Structures are given as C-alpha cells and as structure tokens.
Amino acid sequence: MRRRLFLVETAAVLAAVVSLPRSLGAANSMRPAVDHIINIADFVFNPANPKVRVGDRVTWINKDIVPHTATAKDRSWDTGALAPNQRHTITVKAGMTQSYFCHYHPSMIANLDLD
Amino acid sequence: MKLSTMAALVGITFSALMGIAQANDPSKLNDLQIAHVAYTADNIDIRYAHLALAISSNPRIHEFAKTMIRDHTLVNQKALALLKKLNASPQDNFLSRQLTKNSKVLVDEMSKLRGAAFDKRYAGNELAYHKAVNGLVANAFIPNIENAEVKALFKTGLKIFKAHEKHAEMMVKRLK
C-alpha cells in the first residue's frame, strides 16, 4: 500500500515537472501583442533588427523627404510606397520572411528578428 | 564594366569637374550659385533617367531610373520651396553651364546605344556622376554654404545621393 502511494506521488511530481515548461511556454505565447515602431530616417531602418513575435504589430514610419518601402526579400509582404510622414503596419505571422529592404533604395536592408 | 575602366571613368568625370575648379573654383560659389548647380545636376540626372526609360528594356534599369526621377524631383521641389521662402533665386554660373554642356555630349552618345551596351553605359555613368557630384557637395559646397537652412538641405540631399551611388554600384556589378 505504502509502495503504491509512493509510486502515485512520484508520478504526480514527474507529471508536474514535465508540464512546467509547457505551462511557461503557454504563458509566453499568451503575452499580449506588442507594437513595434521602425523609423525610416536618413536612409536607415531604425531599429534595424528588432525582436518580434507572432501576433506583434510592426509599424514603419517614413521620416525622410523621399518615398521608401519595406519589402520582404522574397517580396512575400510589402508596405507599399510610404510617402514622407506616412506609416504602414504589418502583423507578424509565423514563418514570415524576416529580411527586408527598400524597393526604391536596395542598399537599405534590415531584418525582423522573429522569436 | 571592368573595375579599371570604372576607375578611369570616375577619374575622368572627377577630373572634368576639378578641371573646372582650376579655372573657376566651386568652393568660391555663393549659396545661390550652389543652389543653381544642385538644381542643374538634379535635372541632368532626371534627363538621363528619361533617356534610360525610353531606350532600356531592363527592369532593373527602369526601377533605378524611376527612383532617380522621383527623388531628384522631390529634392528640387524642396530646394525651390526653400529659395521661395528665403525670397531668393538661384544664380547661373560657370559650373552649371559646364555640367549642362557635358551632359549634352553624354546624352548624344548614349542615345546611339542599344541593349546591354546602353545599360552598362547608363549604369556606369550613374555611378561616376553620383560619385563626382557627391564629392563636390561634400567637399566644396557643404563646408562653404552660409545659410543654415540651405546647408541642412544639402546635407539631406547628400544622404539621398549617397544611397543612389550605392544603388548604382549594385547595378554596375549586376550588369558585368
């Protein structure tokens, strides 16, 4: 009887330990979506490599005097042309292409660091 | 285009500008003359871009040319708005005239080219032209511009034109 009780208790502890990381993971995935701002100024995306998660919203704001875009390297997503002072928001999706550039000025490159 | 050819081309363009400098010093131009040079240089690049759109069938050349038209037009609009605000007019000068004269020769030459020969010549010239003008803006104009607002606009313009120079460099490499 005591042996059976010991086994049941051990199994319960093990189950709790095994499920702990899952619980933490669930808590992480349940965190509210975060808004990220990327300024485009002086022909630079700033920040150039923000950490983002699925569900977050990323907004590009063009602060230069000429139009820019934020365009995925494989062109799977695109803000379209952003006139001076214009902004565009994209929601981060699982597996989305992280590297992007300005279609008009391809030397401008940046990255979304998808967690 | 080979690197040595490109270097020679840049050298010739820069020497042409510096040759002017020996007879007439760009660093001695006043703010309104400098504004005229910049306006002229912008319009020359817009002219080259229209030529590229008319002759080239390369999509990358077209994208670049459209960017040149878009950006240089916007910079010129900013410059004219600033001059209007300052109640001033750009002043014609030796450097503007020389740039215009040189550009006419180049347009005549490029107009006769077709296909890859045109694309390489256009891309090579864009790289050389932006390098030469950026050098002039950085070394002769910005240090000597007196009006703070005009100086700020030139600093902004230089960032734009440096991005164009990098873009032209990428285009030249792709066309090799």
Instruction: Find chain A residues with C-beta within 8 A of B159's C-beta.
Output: 42-43
* CA–CA separation, B53 and B73 (whole Å): 16
Which residues are CB-neighbours of B13 under 8 A, at least 6 positions away? B128, B129, B131, B132
pLDDT digits (tens, 9 = 90+) for B69-90: 999 999 999 999 999 999 999 9
User: What pTM was computed for the model?
Assistant: 0.81
- Tell me the residue type at A90: I
The domain locations on chain A are 1-31, 35-114
Per-residue pLDDT band for A101 (boundaries 50, 70, 90) equals very high
* CA–CA separation, B134 and B78 (whole Å): 18
Residue B78 Cα, gap to closest chain A Cα (Å): 9
Instruction: Find chain A residues with C-beta within 8 A of B71's C-beta.
Output: 66, 104
Interface contact flag, B162 A104, Cβ < 8 Å = no
Check CB contact of A108 with chain B, cutoff 8 Å: yes
> Into which CATH architecture does domain A35-114 fall?
Sandwich (2.60)
Measured between CA atoms, the residue of chain A closest to residue B65 is A104
Per-residue pLDDT band for B1 (boundaries 50, 70, 90) equals very low
What's residue B176's pLDDT?
85
Show contacts of A81-89: CB within 8 Å, 24+ apart. A82/A40, A85/A61, A86/A61, A86/A62, A87/A59, A87/A60, A87/A61, A87/A62, A88/A59, A88/A60, A89/A57, A89/A58, A89/A59
Superfamily of domain B3-174: Ferritin, core subunit, four-helix bundle (1.20.1260.10)
Check CB contact of A63 with chain B, cutoff 8 Å: no
The domain locations on chain B are 3-174
Interface contact flag, B170 A104, Cβ < 8 Å = no
Most A-contacting residue of B42, B63, B74 (CB-CB within 10 A), to test interface: B74
